[in-house]
Amino acid sequence: MPDPTNIIIHNALRKEVKLGLFFVVVVAAAVLGYRYMRGIGLFSRTLTLYASYHDVAGLKEGDPVLISGYQIGRVEKMTYRSELTPPRIDIELRLYQKIFLPIDSRARIANTDILGNKAVVLIPGKAAEGLDNKDTITGEVEESFQETLNRTIEPLKQRTVALMAELDTVVIAVKSVLNTETVGALRHAIQRLTVSIQRIDRMISSVDTAVQHGSNDAQQTLANLRRITQSIEQNRAQLAHSIAALSAVSDSLQQAPIKSMIDSLYATVTHARSVMAKIDRGQGTAGLLINDSGAYVRLEQSLDALEKLLTDMRRQPYRYVHFSIFGRGRKK
């Protein structure tokens, strides 16, 4: 028959073994769950790298580690080393899988969005030798948005300061020139210029009025000349006959200057027709007739006298020449 004491001890050992195995399974499940929740493969090999920075620009533990935009790890741990001179921050990077990174690769702290979230971006180098587990990678910090803005605005700021200095110099110079006396003289010059412009405007108005009146007079004169020319042209045959008759008069009639007067009159008429043609074409001295009212009056009087003379000669030629077809003369 088995000893009751041995049975009790055996049962107690079985309970302790079961309890121990249970705790082992729980711990293993917790570790595996923790790795799974952090994105680490359950049975994959990891790669740990270290980097040092003087300024991490707001990076914190748990921020992602990226390569070509793909998250391959996370910031595992950050340690501030105040005992160093200057102080620095050591960062532990845990990569979820073991990859080949050249030894000259860099770990750059960069912005992931405009809100200021950070990440460590791995930039592979070109060396043939690769980094091993727990090696140190070169760290660098990307220029922040504020630094980029300051770098862009700084030249503009310097130009603005220089421009303001130049404007200040110009304002001082203008103030020194535009004193009370200068302003008064400038105001007086503007007033005189205004008066001069008004006078010029009145002169232009007067000239326009004179030109209009002169144009009317010139048109009337041209109409009179055209009327006289037409009258002479219509009586050309009679004038020719009269000239032929005058060539047969007596010696006393030959001594009179009638023929030369008629020739001169005919030449005058011919010249008047030429002048009329030139005036119609915009040539000649029509401008003098417009500006010189006295010349227009004298010309008008001469033309009226000439027209009266010709009319009287056509109607009563015996008053000017004495001849007889039958050999007798008419007594005065």
Residues whose CB is less than 8 angstroms from the CB of residue 317 and which lie 6 or more positions away in sequence, other chains included: 242
Q: Based on the domain organization, do 31 and 57 belong to the same domain?
A: no
Band (332; pLDDT cuts 50, 70, 90) = very low
- Count of domains observed in the chain: 3
pLDDT of residue 303: 79
Least confident of 123-137, 190-204, 238-252: 238-252
Is residue 149 in some structural domain?
no
Q: Can you give the three-state secondary structure of 237-304, one letter per residue?
A: HHHHHHHHHHCCCCHHHHHCCHHHHHHHHHHHHHHHHHHHHHHHCCCCCHHHHHHCHHHHHHHHHHHH
Same domain, 68 and 19: no
Residue 78: pLDDT band (50, 70, 90) is very high
Same domain, 68 and 129: yes
Does residue 114 belong to any structural domain of this protein? yes
Q: Is residue 185 part of a domain?
A: no
Domain edge (last residue) among 94, 124, 142:
142
Q: Quick one: pLDDT at residue 227? A: 77
Residues 289 and 309 in one domain: yes
Residue 74 lies inside a defined structural domain of this protein: yes
In this structure, is residue 84 part of a structural domain?
Answer: yes
One domain, residues 217 and 309: yes
- Is residue 178 assigned to a domain? no
Q: What is the pTM of this model?
A: 0.39
Confidence at residue 331, expressed as pLDDT on a 0 to 100 scale: 46
Residue 313 and residue 216 share a domain: yes
Output the pLDDT for position 3.
57
- Residue 98 resides in a domain: yes
Q: Is pLDDT above 80 for 197?
A: yes
Kindly state whether residues 18 and 88 are assigned to the same domain: no
Average pLDDT, the chain: 76
| Same domain flag for 12 and 54 | no
14/58 same-domain check = no
Tokens of 186: 């400038």
Same domain flag for 268 and 219: yes
Based on the fold, state whether residues 32 and 111 are members of the same structural domain. Answer: no
Q: Which helix (H) or strand (E) holds 108?
A: strand 106-111
What pLDDT does residue 74 have?
Answer: 93
Q: Which of 109, 142, 175 is the last residue of a domain?
A: 142
Helices of type H across 91-179: 145-177
- Reported as a single tens digit per residue, the pLDDT across 152-171 is 888 888 888 888 888 888 87
Domain with 247 in it: 211-319
pLDDT at 118: 92
Residues 58, 86, single domain; the answer is yes
pLDDT in tens, 123-135: 999 999 999 999 9
